[in-house]
Amino acid sequence: MTTLTRRALAAGTALLLLSGAALAQAPIVIKFSHVVAPDTPKGRGADKFKELAEKYTNGKVKVEVYPNSQLFKDKEEVEALQLGAVQMLAPSLAKFGPLGAKEFEVFDLPYILPDKAALRRVTDGALGKRLFDKLQSKGITGLAYWDNGFKVMSANKPLRMPADFRGLKMRIQSSKVLEAQFRALGAIPQVMAFSEVYQGMQTGVVDGSENTPSNMFTQKHHEVQKYITLSDHGYIGYAVITNKKFWDGLPAEIRTELDKAMTEATSYANQVADKDNADALEEMKKSGKTTFITLTPDEKAAWKTALEPVTADMAKRVGKDVIEEFQKEAKGGTQ
């Protein structure tokens, strides 16, 4: 063997060793995809999880956050998670019905949640856990519930009484409960991906929608909707989920650190949610681009009456037992 060959071989071996070491240290990548803006409760939660996960694992895990439907739209993102194309998502609870986990739609029932304390009792209680258990057979592990807030209603005409909804095309997330809700108001529900709502409003494909103030403001819905009614008729929150196979395959010590990061990111996200929504409401008011409507007690009562049948009508789909357990836990009773 010539000196040159020996040197070349030695250099090759060194290169191999180097790339082997680099491979051994290559971080585990978690792609966290979501559909909302970074400056929303979910967006902030995802960014906080990234910060803490990378810190607690000393860089052994790298979290890539993709906001604003950059990677996937509503329905596609859950399929992408199941296929392993992304590792983490936080879809709204309304989006689990089409996956076959219809019980999650209990969160969409009008007026089922009086306040956030009631919400916390449900998500932290037996039902919250039972709902997550339902996801396992779909290759999904539920990690946490994240808050957004109570919904307001927007349109190009003032929505004061149920009769004002008659014939309006209202955008909904893909949820049978939300469909029933708008039918009960005499409107025509239209399923549409979140990223398409602004354009849908601008072009008149839909007349209005419901969402939280933080979602409406960050998507600029108030610029293409003349009225927003402060109705608080329902709730939007999220389940942070991961691909079960990916999660179970992680080294135990990494999973422990990620669990810790998730617990802290969850309390952070839940803490900022109320302020984000209050700020978004203020900003939209300040913009002067839309008129806000506060319902009188009589108007509120009329909405409640019109929407009351929805819960009974949906009991077959969502599960009577699930609704009853939800109501009991929300009130603070034990099952």
Nearer Cβ to ligand LMR, position 61 or 192?
192
Query: What tokens does 135 get?
Result: 């996801």
- If the CB atoms of residues 40 and 290 are measured against ligand LMR, the closer one turns out to be 40
Q: Does 175 bind ligand LMR (CB under 6 A)?
A: no
Instruction: State yes or no: residue 36 binds ligand LMR (CB under 6 A).
Output: yes
Please select the residue that binds ligand LMR; options are 123, 154, 181, 211, rule is CB under 6 A: 211
Q: Which is nearer to ligand LMR, 74 or 257 (CB)?
A: 74
Q: How far is the CB of 164 from ligand LMR (least distance, A)?
A: 21
User: Which one of 34-42, 160-168, 178-186, 287-295 is the stretch in contact with ligand LMR (CB under 6 A)?
Assistant: 34-42
Angle between helices 41-56 and 252-287 (to 10 degrees): 150
Does 215 help bind ligand LMR (rule: CB under 6 A)? Answer: yes
Residue 111 vs 198, nearer CB to ligand LMR: 198
Binding range to ligand LMR, per CB under 6 A, among 35-43, 47-55, 135-143, 325-333: 35-43
- Does 236 contact ligand LMR by CB under 6 A? yes
Half-sphere exposure at residue 257, Cβ-oriented, CA atoms within 13 angstroms: 17
Q: Which is nearer to ligand LMR, 154 or 243 (CB)?
A: 154
Q: Which is nearer to ligand LMR, 37 or 85 (CB)?
A: 37
88-147 residues near ligand LMR, rule: CB under 6 A: 92
Task: Please compute, for residue 214, the number of CA atoms within 13 A of its CA located in the half-sphere on the CB side.
Answer: 25
Nearer to ligand LMR, 125 or 200 (CB): 200
Q: Rounded to the nearest whole angstrom, what is the least distance from the CB of residue 58 to ligand LMR in the complex? A: 31
Name which of 46 and 261 has its Cβ closer to ligand LMR.
Answer: 46
Under the binding rule (CB under 6 A), the answer on residue 173 touching ligand LMR is yes
| 3-state secondary structure string across the chain | CCHHHHHHHHHHHHHHHHHHHHHHCCCEEEEEECCCCCCCHHHHHHHHHHHHHHHHCCCCEEEEEECCCCCCCHHHHHHHHHHCCCCEECCEHHHHHHHCCHHHHHHHCCCCCCCHHHHHHHHCCHHHHHHHHCCHHHCEEEEEEEEEEECEEEECCCCCCHHHHCCCEEEECCCHHHHHHHHHCCCEEEECCHHHHHHHHHHCCCCEEEECHHHHHHCCHHHCCCEEEECCCCEEEEEEEEEHHHHHCCCHHHHHHHHHHHHHHHHHHHHHHHHHHHHHHHHHHHHCCCEEEECCHHHHHHHHHHHHHHHHHHHHHHCHHHHHHHHHHHHCCCC
As measured in angstroms, the least distance from the Cβ of 18 to ligand LMR is 43
Query: Which residues from 67-96 bind ligand LMR, rule CB under 6 A?
Result: 74, 92
Show the site string, 3-32: x = touches ligand LMR by CB under 6 A, - = not: ------------------------------
Residues of the shown chain interacting with ligand LMR in the complex, contacts defined by CB under 6 A: 35-36, 42, 74, 92, 148, 173, 194, 211, 215, 236
